[in-house]
């Protein structure tokens, strides 16, 4: 596996961090990966190792407010800024593995972002994977925090507060939990722009998504308490076209970090191969 990381300067002079993993030989395709809320691309190295072992490259970005990308933790100037990051990520993916299939893969917050990118921008790509997408929260956000977020979005957009995620439902693997809590790049902050934006963009999907412009795989664990399994199931029922919805009984939020992770990654790979 060939790994490299690099920064790019965006139009507003911010440093955006990317990581790329490629197999030693010519790749059969590449996966553009978008991480979840409060985390970063480095937590997907084992996912990249799996796919490169199957001769697919992976390229990932630390989204605004996350990881090694510069800016306040948990904040982005707008939801559209994330769409611009995905656009750039897909361009880099196509450049890294020319003339090969490009897949867009997002988890949690990243799942909601890639779904919105799919249905708002209709990209010409081989397919989209959304794992545990944040179509709706898997819990009822405290009303007073929502009220603070709405006010702050108007008068102090970069103000952040706790995202209220219950980490006990991240994974059944205690090692994953311990590593998450010890990771200096992980945080629990979110601004009203991002937190409310995710809720609103999830509802937009439920009200507006129709025929998928590209093959789509939706997967979710039934015991997820961070994002809503039932909302993903509802979204899948409203879609037409090449849509696959797969449930994983009794599993929590980070399916790629559960004890069954390699079974799940094999399911993803088989779907990718079928759409390559």
What are the backbone angles phi and psi of residue 19, rounded to the nearest 5°?
A: -130, 145
Q: Residue 103's CB: how many other CB atoms inside 10 A? A: 28
Q: Residue 25's CB: how many other CB atoms inside 10 A? A: 7
**Domain spans in the chain, listed from the N-terminal domain onward:** 2-274
pLDDT exceeds 90 at position 171: yes
pLDDT exceeds 90 at position 237: yes
pTM: 0.97
Q: Among residues of the chain, what percentage have pLDDT more than 90?
A: 95
Q: Which of 108, 132, 171, 228 is catalytic?
A: 108
Mean of pLDDT over the chain: 97
pLDDT value, residue 141: 85
Q: Which of 40, 220, 253, 256 is catalytic?
A: 253
pLDDT in tens, 191-234: 999 999 999 999 999 999 899 999 999 999 999 999 999 999 99
| CA distances in angstroms from 237 to 108, 158, 253, listed in the order given | 19, 36, 21
pLDDT in tens, 83-140: 999 999 999 999 999 999 999 999 999 999 999 999 999 999 999 999 999 999 999 8
CA-atom Rg of the chain in angstroms: 17
DSSP string spanning 87-98?
A: HHHHHHHHHHST
CA distance 78 to 50: 33
Catalytic site includes residue 253? yes
2-274: in CATH 3.20.20.210: no
pLDDT exceeds 90 at position 6: yes
Q: Which of 107, 224, 228, 275 is catalytic?
A: 224
pLDDT exceeds 90 at position 164: no
Going by their DSSP bridges, the two strands 127-131 and 216-221 should be labelled as parallel
User: According to DSSP H, which parts of the chain are helical?
Assistant: 45-53, 79-96, 109-121, 143-155, 174-182, 192-208, 229-238, 261-274
CA distance 32 to 251: 24
């Amino acid at each position: 596996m060939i790994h490299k990381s690099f920064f790019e300067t965006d139009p507003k002079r911010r440093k955006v961090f990317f990581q790329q993993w490629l197999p030693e030989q010519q790749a059969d395709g590449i996966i553009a990966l978008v991480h979840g809320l409060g985390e970063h691309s480095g937590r997907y190295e084992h996912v990249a190792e799996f796919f490169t072992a199957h001769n697919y490259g992976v390229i990932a970005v630390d989204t605004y407010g996350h990881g090694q990308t510069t800016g306040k933790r948990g904040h982005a100037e707008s939801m559209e800024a994330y769409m611009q990051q995905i656009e750039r990520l897909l361009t880099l993916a196509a450049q890294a593995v020319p003339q090969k299939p490009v897949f867009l893969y997002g988890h949690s917050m990243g799942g909601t972002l890639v779904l919105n990118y799919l249905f708002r921008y209709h990209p010409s790509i081989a397919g989209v994977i959304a794992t545990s997408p944040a179509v709706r929260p898997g819990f009822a956000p405290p009303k007073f925090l929502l009220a603070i977020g709405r006010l702050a979005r108007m008068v102090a957009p970069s103000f952040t507060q706790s995202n209220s995620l219950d980490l006990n439902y991240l994974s059944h693997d205690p090692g994953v939990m311990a590593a998450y809590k010890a990771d200096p790049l992980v945080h629990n902050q979110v601004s009203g722009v991002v937190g409310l934006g995710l809720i609103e963009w999830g509802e937009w999907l439920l009200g507006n998504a129709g025929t998928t412009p590209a093959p789509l795989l939706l997967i979710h664990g039934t015991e997820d308490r961070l994002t809503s399994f039932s909302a993903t199931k509802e979204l899948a029922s409203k879609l037409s076209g090449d849509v696959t919805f797969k449930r994983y009984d009794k599993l929590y939020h980070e399916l790629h970090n559960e004890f069954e992770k390699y079974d799940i990654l094999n399911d993803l790979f088989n779907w990718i191969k079928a759409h390559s």
